[in-house]
Structures are given as C-alpha cells and as structure tokens.
Structure 1
Amino acid sequence: MQVEVRPTADGSSTLYVPALDEHYHSTHGAVQEAQHVYLQAALEPILAAATDTTRILEIGFGTGLNAILTLQRSLTASVALAYDTIEKYPLPPAVVADLHPERYLLNPELLEYFNQLHAAAWDEAVPLLPRFLLRKITGELQHTALPANHYHVIYFDAFAPEKQPDMWTDAVFAQLYEAAAPGALLTSYCAKGSFRRSLKAAGWLVEKLPGPVGKREMTRARKDFTVPVS
C-alpha cells in the first residue's frame, strides 16, 4: 500500500494513503488526537481503577503512535500494561524512518522505544519495559482469534467507515464485545450514527464525547457498565 508522509498541525507526522484519499491521523494534530481519543477517554479511566495488569487491544497499529504514547504512560502507571495490536498492512522500515520520529515524539527520550516498537518481532510477546508487554499481530481482525472477556481497553483506530467498510460491521463489534472484559472501554474518533448503532446491536453501552481539535464529537462504549473492571 503506497503512503506519503504528511505534517500535522501539532508538529507530528501522519501518513496519507492516495488510493483511499485517507490520512492515518487527524491533520489537526496526530499526537493530540491520539491523546484525546485513546489515552484520555479510554486508558486513563481504566487505570484510575486498575489494581492488576491492564490489557489493551489496538485495532490498527499503523505508525505506532498510540502504542508509543501508551508505552510512555506505562512509565508512571501503577500497574503493568499488556498491549496487543492488530495490523493488516505493517509499514516498511523506510516509511517509518521517513516519519521523522524525532519530531513525531513530544518526548525525545522515547525515540529509542519508538524504534524498538517497530523492530519488535511480529506475532510474539515482547517485553519492552518491565511494565509494558507488546504483541504485534499481523492479519485481519475478523480472522484473528481473541481471548474472551480479556481486554480492559480497546482503541478502535481503523480507517473511516466509508474507506474501510468491512471493519465497521455488526459482526466486528460483536467480536470485540466478546473479547472485552466486564467494564471495558472502547473508543474511536468516529461519531457516525451507523457505527453507534452497530455497537449497541453488539451489546455495548454507547456515549458521545467531545472530539479532539477539529472534530465535534467522538464515541466511547462500555461493556456492562455496572460491572467493575477486575
């Protein structure tokens, strides 16, 4: 898949896919979008109540932005983080280098870890830090066997529904519901009504939240709201 490196408004880089006319992140700021949608809206509420390892599933590893920001958070978290991420189209090393990660990362001390994220073997559990375990999974979500009642946090970061409709089906969100632990949170930048209806059909409890810069709304969903995270 051909991609082009593009700058975003907060100084970080994203990728543009000409064949889809789609960016990997918001052009208003890749880092601020990731922090707002995934870490602040999903990870932080779960960490606030966590007493044991927090298990995270990311749909779309992409440039590794969500992963590196989560790794950074693990440095100060009171529990360990186990991070699984699924990617159908892993980026070649040359494209990763072209992201200019020294500008991509707000904390330059993370550059070494960013490189380790991308160099880590696929389909293996790799401990990058004492409290951060990474497992990159190649292939399609729909054909990936996920453990039941397992994940506390799900970052749903697929391309937009009109660009990648097979990723936004009732069946996909039912699959993720089964993989989610009681009380788990799923977040996405997407605010489309069809997306929210698919989530509800799968059993998720859905709410609208203010979106990141440049976007009015985003979506957060919870499995079994009254059941605490274990």
Structure 2
Amino acid sequence: MKSSVAKALFNSYSYLEYRKIISDLLAEGKSTGEEQSEDLLHYSTLNESRLKRLDKTITVPEEISLKLKGLEKEYIWLVIAEGWCGDAAQILPILNKMAAESNKIDLKIVLRDENDDLMSHFLTNGARAIPKLLIIDKQLGKVCSHWGPRPKGASDLIKNYKEQFGIVDEEAKSQLQLWYLHDKGLSVQHEVVKMMYSIKECACL
C-alpha cells in the first residue's frame, strides 16, 4: 500500500488547487471523475456554492485550535474526494480550516477516480465512499489512521433513513445538508482531533 500512498501524494493537490480544478471544469460544463452526466454536473455546481459559503463561515473553536497546535509530530492529511460529492463539499472546507491552525499538518487532496488503487484500501462497507481522510505520518510515510466518509451524526441520519425508506433519495440528501448546516462543522472537528490524539506509533498501517 505504501506505493499507492506515495503515488497519490505525488499527484495530490492543495486545497486551492483542488478548488481551481473544480471551477475550471465547471466553466467547461464538466465535473471531476471518469463519469460525466447532467446529475453530476448539477451536484458539482451546488457544491461550488457550498464550498464558497463554507470557506467564509466555518470557524475553528479555540479548544480545537489549541489541540491542533499541540500536535507533536508532523502529518499529512490526504483526502480522497471528487467535486460532485456533497459530503466532500461539506467536509473539505472544515479540514482546510483545521489544517491552517497547525504548522504540523499539510492538507493534500486527490481525486478518487484517479487513485483507484489507494481507494481500494479504504473502502467503507465494501463501497468506494468519499470523502476519506488518511492521516499520514510525514516522517514514516505511513497511514496511521483514517476517517470518513461522514461524521457519526450524519452517518446515523442516512442509515436510519435507508432503514425506514429503503433508499437514499433527494429528501434524504436534503435532510443531510440541513444536518451539516446546523452542525457548523463541529462534529468533524471533534472526531478528527480525537482520532489524532489516539494515534499510536505501532498503529501505523
């Protein structure tokens, strides 16, 4: 797996580069990824608006900031995402703000469909669900832990909806977006910080 991580890092983007890729593709009437469709283009356009809004509104509480600043080792946060993914649009701005709080975190982003080998190591219940955050020890070049594709509250919402109605439809997606709106990025921040402080040297994969 180390080779797939190295390859992904070599082809990774900064947050600003990722944002520019999405914007440039949208200007051409395209979305990221191998598949192109009206639906994916529609979702990508919605997500562009979400990214712009969240970049302005997401804040990092002082307690989270202090913990991020207190990290002893240097890490790369490598996120597997795509521009059409609603969860990625909600979560990436949060991770970007968190990474900016610490000089020990370097945020990098890769596109799922361009990194199939890496994605295959981090499936969720057998699915290529994104976004997926990989925590990489910068010195060792190894993945120490991973998180995603959603915070627990959002995952529970979708799980319960699917159990009740059998599908994840537009109503489920609307409820999910409302959950993110009310949560204000706090669940992601608390879960990721808790994970960072639970990393042990021997746990590196």
Q: TM-score range by the shorter chain?
A: 0.3 to 0.5
| Larger relative contact order, structure 1 or 2 (CA cutoff 8 Å, min sep 6) | 2
| Superposition TM-score, scaled by structure 2 size | 0.36
| Superposition TM-score, scaled by structure 1 size | 0.34
More helix by share: 2
